[in-house]
């Protein structure tokens, strides 16, 4: 699956290393989990308040026209939803399964697939960070720099 980063003017500890609008490939495990609410209007408010920072899209970054681009039929193509503060993330896809370049399918026709194909045969290059790694780098930045900012006060 491909995800698009939507910052909507709001910084999240999980997306700080990404550019707004960046598209990354991230695997899903089984396409069954999805975040839903009984009131679709409340879901639209989550989008308006910048609480849906990760959305399913086509490989080109266009809005997902349904399955297979939105594998579970989630409302508003939501792949990740945060709390109002942005420091808690409910996430269906699995960035840990794309943390290393060796985990990226060589068959992808995007820049990550091309990078993976070029790395074939080089163990060092295959162990480079993959697209999902930025989620964890972003969170580490928040934990490290957030703690340092608190100590500086």
- The predicted model gives 83-88 an average pLDDT of 90
**Residue 153 in this model has a pLDDT that exceeds 90:** no
Range of the domain at 120: 2-152
Instruction: Identify the CATH number of the domain in which residue 75 sits.
Output: 3.40.50.880
Q: What is the mean pLDDT of residues 94-107?
A: 95
- Mean pLDDT within 97-126: 95
Q: What is the pLDDT of residues 48-59, one digit of tens each?
A: 999 999 999 999
> pTM of the prediction?
0.87
152 has pLDDT over 60 = no
Q: Can you tell me the mean pLDDT for 15-37?
A: 85
Into how many domains does the chain fold?
Answer: 1
Residue 7 clears pLDDT 80, i.e. is over it: yes
What's the rounded Cα separation, in Å, for the pair 77 and 54?
A: 9
* 12: number of Cβ within 10 Å: 25
């Amino acid at each position: 699956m491909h995800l698009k980063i939507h910052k909507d003017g709001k910084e999240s500890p999980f997306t700080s290393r990404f550019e707004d609008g960046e598209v990354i490939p991230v695997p899903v495990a089984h396409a069954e989990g999805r975040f839903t609410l009984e009131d679709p209007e409340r879901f639209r408010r989550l989008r308006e308040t910048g609480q849906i920072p990760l959305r399913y899209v086509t490989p080109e970054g266009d809005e997902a026209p349904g399955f297979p681009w939105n594998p579970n039929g989630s409302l508003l193509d939501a792949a990740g939803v945060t709390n109002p503060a942005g420091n808690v993330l409910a996430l269906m896809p699995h960035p840990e399964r794309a943390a290393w370049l060796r985990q990226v399918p060589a068959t992808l026709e995007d820049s990550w697939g091309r990078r993976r194909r070029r790395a074939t045969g080089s163990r060092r290059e295959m162990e480079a960070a993959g697209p999902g790694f930025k989620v964890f780098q972003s969170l580490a930045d928040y934990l490290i720099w957030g703690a340092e900012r608190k100590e500086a006060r």
